[in-house]
Amino acid sequence: MLLSLLTFLPLVGALLVAVLPTRGNAALRAVTLGVTLVVAALGVWVFLGFEGASAEAQYVESHAWFTLGNIQVTYRLGVDGLSILLVALTAVLMPFVAAASSGHIHTRQREFLVWLLVMETGMMGVFLALDVMLFYFFWEVSLVPLYFILGIWGAEKRIYATLKFFLYTLSGSLLMLVAIIAAVYGSGHSDIAGITDWAASQPLARTGWLFAGFAIAFAIKVPLIPFHTWLADAHTQAPTAGSVILAGVLLKMGTYGLLRFGIAMFPAAAISAAPLFLALGAVGILYGAFLAMAQTDVKRLIACSSVSHLGFVVMGMFALTAAGLRGGVLQMINHGLSTGLLFLLFGAIYERRHSRDIAQFGGLAACVPIFAFFWTFSMLASVGLPGLNGFVGEWLILLGTFQASPLIAALAVTGVIFGAVYLLKATRGLLFGPVIHEENRSMPDLRLAEIAVVAPLCLACLWIGVAPGGLLNKTTGSVEALVQRLDAARGTLQSAMLDDVERPR
């Protein structure tokens, strides 16, 4: 029952916070932090005990749930090499979000903490579910809290951003539901393994439509071009904790879905669609970088950078090579850490100055040197400086993409350069030059509690950059098995093409 405990302990904590008879917020925050710390410990326990050489799901729990005609829907949880890193990221990141929220959320803290814990249950369930119906249940659970967090605790244009987020999310969810229903009734199974085995025996003309339904739904969530417009508004209007969760974990639900329900479930369709997704990934890298370079709002700049970074993830996965797949999985973690750090750090400054405009800053390196150090470190991690986490993931992605398409890889390399341009430009505007605004001279530096939140995440970035094998080794078995399925699907597609050519007309 370890995975069930990992999934539902936050929900128990949410119920406890909701009914705890106290007028003070300190006790509520302590309970929330305590629950997330226990979940983090369980997540680390699962991570350390996971055998990366195996392609099989581990820690599996399976119970009958309900029936749909002759189809048995199961409550089935498990973790494999495609999900273990995301489970660990979700578990480890949430205590830092809970700790940081006390400095940013000043009204209706009980309700905020309840939604925060409910969201953790939903996100954990998404990465652990081995049944498509159970996956969809957790998918919807994870989206509802962000709707309220954005709509209640967001900035001045939060209603517009919330409605836009809701409409995009609803469209993707409904499309995915249609694909799930078609896959379940077509295969006679609701578990992911059963549908995957069934899809391997079906013609591309049939599985291609199912792949398209899943792929579009997850592309909206990533978001890929042209579904990216909701992201900048959501990040800009969300409170700091909401931005950290959105960048750190929620966006990875889209890339994880493309990997689990696109590439792994329908490998033949993924091979056929790979050139399109490689191109979309490369366009996202460049377009997201150009958008970021044009921003004067810091949060909006970081949001646009996510479009570029997640373009790398999608490009690496749809290179359909071992290096690209491993790099894509690792880069999901890298983006969650480095971008989450940038949002946490700027959130601390925003609480002091209540401005997101780069022009309102300048010279902060002299005024708040501790902030300047951590911001520069996080920026370099996001840029992909060798020795920090971003470099390893991007290098593997570019290596894998070059094996599939040298042209796409060459275009993506320029995105690395542009990424350095917009982040270094923003850093220069924030930290260097003369102190133009007197308010910045008296700004207090990061407090000890704030340092305690960002310092461990910076150490994690350094650890991954220096010793990435600790994470990459956990993905070995699942990635190798996926590459074998892709090779088998290529053989099947080539045989079908030869049959078409040789068939008498």
- Structural domain includes residue 314: yes
- Structural domain includes residue 505: no
Predicted pLDDT of residue 101? 85
Residue 495 clears pLDDT 90, i.e. is over it: no
Residue 505 clears pLDDT 90, i.e. is over it: no
Among the listed ranges 22-36, 251-265, 328-342, 488-502, which one has the minimum average pLDDT value? 488-502
> Which pLDDT tens digit goes with each residue over 449-477?
999 999 999 999 999 999 999 999 999 99
Cα–Cα distance between 15 and 124 in angstroms, integer?
17
Q: How confident is the model at residue 251 (pLDDT cuts 50, 70, 90)?
A: very high
- Structural domain includes residue 240: yes
Residue 237 clears pLDDT 60, i.e. is over it: yes
Cα–Cα distance between 490 and 268 in angstroms, integer?
7
Q: Please give the backbone phi and psi of residue 296, each rounded to the nearest 5 degrees, phi first.
A: -110, -15
Residue 122: name the closest of 106, 145, 104, 97 by CA: 145
> Which pLDDT tens digit goes with each residue over 367-389?
999 999 999 999 999 999 999 99
Query: What is the pLDDT of the chain when averaged over all its residues?
Result: 92
Residue 500 clears pLDDT 70, i.e. is over it: no
Q: How confident is the model at residue 499 (pLDDT cuts 50, 70, 90)?
A: low
Residue 182 clears pLDDT 70, i.e. is over it: yes
**How many other C-beta atoms lie within 10 A of the C-beta of residue 296?**
13
3-class SS shares of the chain: helix, strand, coil, % to 5: 80, 5, 15
> Which pLDDT tens digit goes with each residue over 64-117?
988 877 888 999 999 999 999 999 999 999 999 999 887 777 788 899 999 999
- Structural domain includes residue 504: no
Predicted pLDDT of residue 503? 62
Tokens representing residue 324 in the block: 């690209």
Predicted pLDDT of residue 439? 87
- Structural domain includes residue 354: yes
Share of the chain above pLDDT 70, in %: 98
Q: Count structural domains, the chain.
A: 1
C-beta separation of 54 from 477 below 8 A: yes
Residue 231 clears pLDDT 60, i.e. is over it: yes
- Structural domain includes residue 178: yes
C-beta separation of 334 from 392 below 8 A: yes
- Structural domain includes residue 255: yes
> Which pLDDT tens digit goes with each residue over 278-311?
999 999 999 999 999 999 999 999 999 999 999 9
C-beta separation of 332 from 401 below 8 A: no
- Domain hosting 78: range is 2-491
- Structural domain includes residue 500: no
> Which pLDDT tens digit goes with each residue over 397-444?
999 999 999 999 999 999 889 989 999 999 999 999 888 888 888 899
H or E stretch at 287: helix 267-293
Predicted pLDDT of residue 11? 96
Residue 276 clears pLDDT 80, i.e. is over it: yes
> Which pLDDT tens digit goes with each residue over 26-65?
889 999 999 999 999 999 999 999 999 999 999 999 999 8
Q: Please list, residue by residue across 154-173, b when 16 or more beta carbons sit within 10 angstroms of its beta carbon and e when fewer do.
A: beeebeebbebbbebbeebb
DSSP structure string for 112-181 = HHHHHHHHHHHHHHHHHB-BHHHHHHHHHHHHHHHHHHHHHHS-TTHHHHHHHHHHHHHHHHHHHHHHHH
Question: In sequence order, what are the beta bridge partners of 75?
Answer: 63
Tell me whether strands 58-68 and 71-79 are parallel, antiparallel or unpaired: antiparallel
